[in-house]
A and B are shown apart, each in its own frame.
Chain A
Amino acid sequence: MTPDINPFVLFFASIFTSNILLSNFLGMCSFISVSKDIKSSNGLGMAVTFVMTITTALNWIVYKYLLIPFNIEYLKYIVFIIVIAAVVQILEMIIERVSMNLYMALGIFLPLITVNCAILGVALFMQLRNYNLIQSVFFGFGSGLGWWLAIMALAAIRKKVDKAPVPAALKGPGITLIIIGFMAMAFIGFSGMLSVQ
């Protein structure tokens, strides 16, 4: 059964209260490694949002009209990944032709997104929670923006932390994980405003 949630509520919920990064901890590895640099974080966030929105919609169509009719829903993991990989490949070609500036901004992150688990995670949640197409698009777009927001926030914090006297044992990923923990708690604070999942 499709849940009765307004797509806009879903959109804001996936940015703040159920942020894919900070409530589900998906896409952590690029989150930690890329957030060292604000410019790269921006590029990666943009690319993730872009790809997440498109692949969620495509995967919804593939799931509904290909996997369900043939009764092969258990293949969703493989099929979703194939679709994501193909979309990323096509997007890369088109962006390179249309806008060299955007292509340079996204840089090597576009191909890396193929293996970003947040993208696959959103596709799987979308299927698990029985969203319809409109809801899925808003959910995908919102999750992408949420991911972008989180990585920008972390990058900004890390820039401050660089100047702070961090204990030697916690330097680098150690302090970053602790910061992420605080961030997650702060984001959970938003759930007082609206709660979806």
Chain B
Amino acid sequence: MSSVLIAPLVIGILSSVLAALIAVIDGIVNNYGEVNISINKGRKNVKVKGGSPLLMTLSEEGIFIPSACGGRGSCGACKVKVLSDVGPVLPTEAPLLTDEEIKSNIRLSCQIKVKSDIEIEIPEELFSARQFKTTVESIKNVTHDIKEVRFRLENPKEVEFKAGQYAQLVVPPYGKIKDITQRAYSISSAPSQKNYLEFLIRLVPGGIATTYVHQNLKEGQKFDLVGPFGEFYKRPTKADMICVAGGSGMAPLKSIIYDMYENNETDRNVWYFFGARSLKDIYYLDEFKKLEEKWPNLHFVPALSEPSEEDNWKGETGLITDVLNKYLKERIKSPNGREGYLCGSPGMINACINVMTSNEISEDKIYYDKFA
């Protein structure tokens, strides 16, 4: 046989033998049998096959820890608290952990392997975050550019979330968009509706997800959602809630307010300022008026900045910040203190934070959900 053939053949065979050897040894050496992962002090226990990184093991069990790099150890997003001993911090983790994190046993879940029973702690919100297979139940126009989209959950069938949190819409490739796109939207339905998730989606010209929802999404269609996530939810105090929203910023506040009403938390004063340009931009007026009648401590204050003449508007007019300032100074007496809840464009939120801080609401008592 010519040496031209022999050389590649020998190298090929040698390489494959070595590769096979590595695979076999990997199978033997990395077989750790079945191990138990105890999450958040036994709130959930999962039995898994050991030997793989914690991040991948958990996602196979349906617990999604955020990771931007996909487990290569370069983003540092997948930090979890490990309570059992899994060995010292690895050189691949060290650059992404601060000294404080190392002291409190925070580790990169993509780097540590599950070898024996371990105990970990993850933020409660990640617990219920998962991928939902859904069907589009209904799509309604609530204004000329905002749609109320309701998804019926198919698998899993139920969701648990805190009113005010958001979920991500998994938009399939369409038209010129070749990749799957994920975009976050606040959930507008109350948590009591466990089988449904509802969103308010405003058409943003050029927006990938909003354009898809407004032009391609049909009732009855299958659709994927990931969630819930987020830190924007009601704090359990007695302080008056000063809520301000504009446009589709209605969503999380609607969820929060309906959730409070359903749980009979109607002792608390809630002021809800909703800003819009003209009557065609405002929605859910009747719903909130009805709710106000049943809940005396709820005050819904819609305000139009540029009402047209045919609107025949009798409510507040002017910029929402001016209306807010006027009410905070003159109308709202808060013996129990005040908390701010804001949802809308960054411009609106920043302006409202200024108004609120000048009216005795400290910045750490103002919670907001900014979307760009």
Binding site for B on A (CB under 8 A): 62, 66-67, 70-72, 75, 78-79, 82-83, 86, 89-90, 93-94, 96-97, 100, 104, 107-108
Give the one of B29, B88, B90, B92 with max A CB within 10 A.
Answer: B29
25 residue pairs A–B, Cβ–Cβ below 8 Å: A62-B14, A66-B10, A66-B14, A67-B10, A70-B6, A71-B3, A71-B6, A72-B6, A72-B7, A72-B10, A75-B7, A75-B11, A78-B11, A79-B10, A79-B14, A82-B14, A83-B14, A83-B18, A86-B18, A86-B21, A90-B25, A93-B26, A94-B25, A104-B90, A108-B92
Q: How many whole Å from A157's CB to the nearest CB in chain B? A: 25
Nearest neighbor of B87 in chain A, beta-carbon distance: A100
Cβ A108 vs Cβ B91 within 8 A: yes
Work out how many contacts link A and B, with CB atoms closer than 8 A.
50
Asked if B30 is at the interface (CB within 8 A of a chain A CB), the reply is yes
**Chain B 1-59 residues near chain A, CB threshold 8 A:** 3, 6-7, 10-11, 14-15, 18-19, 21-22, 25-26, 29-30
Nearest neighbor of B18 in chain A, beta-carbon distance: A86
CA–CA, A108 and B92, complex, Å: 8
Q: Which residues of B contact A79 (CB under 8 A)?
A: 10-11, 14
CA–CA, A94 and B3, complex, Å: 37
Cβ A90 vs Cβ B10 within 8 A: no
CA–CA, A107 and B92, complex, Å: 9
Q: How many whole Å from B11's CB to the nearest CB in chain A? A: 6
Q: Which residues of A contact B91 (CB under 8 A)?
A: 107-108
CA–CA, A70 and B30, complex, Å: 36
CA–CA, A96 and B90, complex, Å: 12
CA–CA, A157 and B22, complex, Å: 40
Cβ A90 vs Cβ B11 within 8 A: no
Partner of B22, one of A67, A75, A90, A100: A90
Nearest neighbor of A74 in chain B, beta-carbon distance: B7
Q: How many whole Å from B248's CB to the nearest CB in chain A? A: 49
Nearest neighbor of B19 in chain A, beta-carbon distance: A86
CA–CA, A66 and B250, complex, Å: 74
